[in-house]
Amino acid sequence: MTDRHATVARETAETEIDCTLTLDGSGDSEVDTGIGFLDHMLDAFARHGLFDLELTCDGDLEIDDHHTVEDVGIVLGQAFDEALADRSGIRRFADRRVPMDEAQAGVVVDVSGRPYFRFAGEFSQERVGEFTSVLARHFARSLGQHAGLTLHCEIEGDNAHHEIEALFKGLARALDDATRLDERRSDTPSTKETL
């Protein structure tokens, strides 16, 4: 199997992030963003996508959680883009629904190289711990934009923790499916012959 691995570092006046991602991993993660709930979601993302993920972020949490969540999404998207290289041999498309008790999330992805994002649904509570719920949507958009994904997401439920967790697990399962190598294919999955 090709080594589909990337290391990305990004430093701004708001955050300093180091990320190492292996697409064909075993779901191991070591994450420290300074936001407990985000760490929990990234651990779930790695475990359910079978990605190996090491990620640290030193962000301006004295202001709020926005810059950290957004920039982690950006860096993780860049890592996916780099690890996928020319995207040859991948399945490309995936559609996953994930339940979490009363909540559920749906994620449809095309690893197309053409970023597009659509989100349907509202989070039931404004915050989960120190995490601002609407930032889960922002994380998904940042990840998709920087990984070159067409990404459609939807959530519903009564508990924001469950809605967000279903979303992260749905993202993980859909990305695992779409980025998985298809043994029948060696070329890039496009009539254009490039993505």
CB-based burial of residue 80 (10 Å sphere; 0-12 exposed, 13-18 middle, 19+ buried)?
buried
The pLDDT assigned to 172 comes to 98
Number of continuous H segments (helices) and E segments (strands) in the chain: 4, 10
Q: What is the pLDDT of residue 183?
A: 86
CA distance 108 to 189: 17
C-alpha gyration radius of the chain? 16
Cα dihedral 56, 168, 60, 16, rounded to 10, equals 30
Structure confidence at residue 185 as a pLDDT band (50, 70, 90): confident
Residue labelled with tokens 């300093």: 16
Q: Which residue would you say has higher pLDDT here, 118 or 186?
A: 118
Least confident of 40-49, 113-122, 180-189: 180-189
Q: What is the pTM of this model?
A: 0.95
| Rounded CA separation 130/64 (Å) | 9
Task: Please write the tens of the pLDDT for every residue from 1-27.
Answer: 468 999 999 999 999 999 999 999 999
Percent of the chain topping pLDDT 90: 90
- Grade residue 192 by pLDDT with cuts at 50, 70 and 90: low
Predicted pLDDT of residue 191: 63
